[in-house]
Amino acid sequence: MTRLVVQHPTLSDAAVAAVEREVGKPPLRRTACMADWDAVALSGDQVDQLARSLEVDADIVSPTLRLTDFGLAAFDMDSTLITIECIDEIADYIGRKAEVAAITEAAMRGEIADYDESLRRRVALLEGLPQDTLEQVWNEKVQLSPGADELIGAMKRAGVRVLVVSGGFTFFTERIKQRLGLDLARSNVLEVSDGKLTGRLVGPIINAQGKRRVVEQTCAMLGITPAQAIVVGDGANDLAMMSIAGMSVAYHAKPIVHSQTHHAVNHGGLDAILNYFSDQTAGANTLA
């Protein structure tokens, strides 16, 4: 048996009706942003085509999938837990945002073979910036992605430990950890001397394989397997950790990520992920 979950922040009656015609029966549940059907015979390709044509998110999941079946959720930070790429916004303070953002975008799309070198190139451009610039970015630019509080809160109530693992910087991941009450944070360390960025990193780079190792190590520490982990990200450097997870979710992700993950949220917020789980949607209120 399979379950079809269709979502959009403003899920229209027309979209629900179109899915109903395709499936041949009305939904089990219908809220303002979600509808689901049980015992659906559609293939993954059919569901993907339906999602594209109706401009909604649509996923096939197990009807018995429960959030409590998982022990760890690992999140990328930039453009996943938060809405920005921090390094691009730091570069904005020296008038080089466009230059740095172009490299970031190419790296996230998987178009740069040497991620470490691309990161070093971007960090080098920040040499001489006052360390206080990081605080400015945090105060003026950083916003949580929609639904982040709701999703993390539900995971904590379900007993799922939560990790942020990022190719970004500890200045931000530690603050996100505190803001959301996360259990663990791992990322790169910017070198600072005399109150200014040196344009260098301290220690090994958290790249794609580094992210995977962090997830593997965290699972081992928790006494679980990666099959009991959920991984959420948006860029090519998230694929290695996604490949070992029991559930991977592409969140407003680059095309290369969509083709290699279990599920995708293109329209909704992070809390849309909760609707994949039977123990999170069972009590959903239907619309009159």
Terminal Cα-to-Cα distance of the chain (whole angstroms): 28
Q: Select from 184, 186, 183, 185 the least CA-distant residue to 203.
A: 186
In angstroms, what CA-CA distances link 260 with 73, 236, 266, 285?
18, 10, 15, 33
From the candidates 36, 57, 78, 88, which is the catalytic residue?
A: 78
Whether 78 is catalytic is yes
CB burial of 157-171 (b: ≥16 within 10 Å; e: otherwise) equals ebebbbbbbbbbbbb
Q: What is the rounded distance in angstroms from the CA atom of residue 111 to the CA atom of residue 236? A: 9
Q: What is the rounded distance in angstroms from the CA atom of residue 54 to the CA atom of residue 39? A: 21
Whether 69 is catalytic is no
Maximum alpha-carbon separation in the chain: 67
Q: What is the rounded distance in angstroms from the CA atom of residue 239 to the CA atom of residue 154? A: 25
| Phi, psi angles (nearest 5°) of residue 213 | -60, -40
From the candidates 76, 92, 234, 238, which is the catalytic residue?
A: 76
Q: Which residues are catalytic?
A: 76, 78
